[in-house]
């Protein structure tokens, strides 16, 4: 199964400062009480936004942002895919951070939300830039592993296979996993607890 190929993500960017921002904060559990992902976008960071009226996701200057700038271990905690779904439905197409939790990154990949990493210094500089001038446009290129930010270009990291999956449109794994399904059956038949002890 082939999906949309993703190379460039261009647009304005929204900064959310802080390490270890967990998925309960990105989308509180009460919004998981639904049988679809519809409407999650409007509740992204809801409790943080109530607690802090100056939250970037409440700031009209960042409306329409396509890139999210974060610090370390973003998306830790609960495995809820609702977190990347909420960000994506709000309009985010790529997250640029110092690091991401593993489950968050896997969930993001599975729904075609790009996550790339870079150094603390670069993140800080990009955050400063868009805090000072929210209309600044950034252009992420997976192909070049870089972000153009005004008159400077910074490099970003992304695992080669993940980059390939986005570039080739194979980030939705279901098709790959179902390819030549007899091989899966073969594994099932050799596993002792299925074959029988």
Residues interacting with another protein, by CB under 8 A?
A: 18-20, 22, 24-25, 28-30, 32-37, 47-48, 50-51, 72-73, 76-82, 84, 99, 101-103, 106-107, 110-111, 159-162, 164-165, 168, 170-174, 176-178, 181, 183-184, 187-188, 190-194, 196-197
Nearer to another protein, 63 or 178 (CB): 178
d(CA 197, CA 191): 10
Tokens describing residue 139 = 């252009």
CB of 93 to another protein, least distance (A): 17
CB of 64 to another protein, least distance (A): 26
Beta bridge partners of 96: 69, 116
CB of 108 to another protein, least distance (A): 9
Nearer to another protein, 103 or 149 (CB): 103
- The dihedral formed by the CA atoms of 166, 19, 54 and 78, expressed in degrees to the nearest 10: 70
Nearer to another protein, 153 or 174 (CB): 174
CB of 150 to another protein, least distance (A): 29
Residues 6+ apart with CB under 8 A from 40: 27, 31, 82, 85, 86, 89
CB of 153 to another protein, least distance (A): 26
Burial of residue 27 (number of CB atoms within 10 Å: 0-12, 13-18, 19+): buried
Strands (E), 6-151: 8-16, 67-70, 94-97, 114-117, 137-141, 146-149
- The dihedral formed by the CA atoms of 94, 9, 163 and 57, expressed in degrees to the nearest 10: 0
Q: How many CB atoms lie within 10 A of CB 33?
A: 6
CB of 55 to another protein, least distance (A): 13
Nearer to another protein, 137 or 145 (CB): 145
Nearer to another protein, 135 or 197 (CB): 197
Nearer to another protein, 45 or 149 (CB): 45
């Amino acid at each position: 199964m082939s999906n949309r190929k993703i190379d460039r993500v261009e647009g304005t960017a929204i900064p959310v400062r802080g390490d270890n921002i967990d998925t309960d904060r990105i989308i509180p559990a009460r919004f998981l009480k639904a049988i679809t992902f519809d409407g999650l976008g409007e509740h992204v960071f809801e409790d943080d936004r109530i607690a802090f009226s100056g939250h970037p996701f409440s700031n009209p200057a960042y409306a329409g942002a396509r890139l999210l700038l974060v610090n370390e271990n973003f998306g830790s905690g609960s495995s809820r895919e609702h977190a990347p779904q909420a960000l994506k439905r709000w309009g985010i197409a790529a997250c640029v951070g110092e690091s991401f939790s593993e489950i968050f990154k896997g969930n993001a990949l599975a729904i075609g939300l790009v996550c790339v990493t870079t150094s603390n210094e670069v993140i800080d500089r990009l955050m400063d830039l868009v805090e000072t001038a929210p209309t600044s446009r950034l252009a992420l290129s997976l192909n070049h592993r870089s972000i153009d930010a005004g008159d400077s270009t910074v490099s970003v990291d992304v695992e080669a296979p993940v980059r390939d999956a986005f570039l080739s449109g194979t980030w939705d794994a279901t098709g790959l996993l179902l390819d030549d399904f007899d091989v899966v059956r073969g594994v099932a038949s050799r596993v002792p607890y299925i074959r029988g002890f």
